[in-house]
Amino acid sequence: MELRDLYEEVILDHNRNPRNYPYRPPGANHHAHGFNPLCGDEFQVHVKVDDAGIIEDVGFEGAGCAISTASASMMTEAVKGKTVKEAERLFHAVQDVLTDESAEPSDETLGKLKVLTGVKEFPMRVKCATLAWHTLNAALHDQEGTVTTE
């Protein structure tokens, strides 16, 4: 299947049926609020990190366009069960592959998230795709206030 077709299929699926949404895990201990003024996407990300530094549970609330919602949904699936360090690595990998023209997606790191690179065909929407990841990163760092994609 072409990346483009796969991209559309995955985005549609996750947008129709977002995982871990609207969801605030019981005992969530890290939170952040993210906003993409270009599109109006707005999410709260809630993360429960255990004593060993493992992301036990994660969910998001709020509203956004199809791409931002699908990306947030995929983000929650991708980081659940991972360590905070691994989640940070994934955030940087996604960020790099979506914002750096020359970055080559590494299948090994990105796994299923590779499909997100389809958004590069629509440069206006890249910030929609990265919003949930910025918000996750802010939550893990206990950043106060609202994270914006600007």
41 touches Zn ion by CB under 5 A: yes
Among 3, 21, 25, 39, indicate the residue that binds Zn ion (CB under 5 A): 39
Rounded alpha-carbon distances, angstroms, from residue 42 to 30, 32, 56, 60, 144 = 17, 11, 23, 10, 16
Region from 46-54, 106-114, 122-130, 134-142 binding Zn ion, contact rule CB under 5 A: 122-130
Region from 48-56, 79-87, 88-96, 120-128 binding Zn ion, contact rule CB under 5 A: 120-128
Among 65, 84, 103, 110, indicate the residue that binds Zn ion (CB under 5 A): 65
47 touches Zn ion by CB under 5 A: no
Strands 41-49 and 30-36, by their bridges, are antiparallel
Residues 65/128, Cβ–Cβ less than 8 Å: yes
Cis before 22? omega within 30: yes
69 touches Zn ion by CB under 5 A: no
Q: How far is CA 129 from the centre of its chain?
A: 7
Report the interface residues with Zn ion, using CB under 5 A: 39, 41, 65, 68, 128
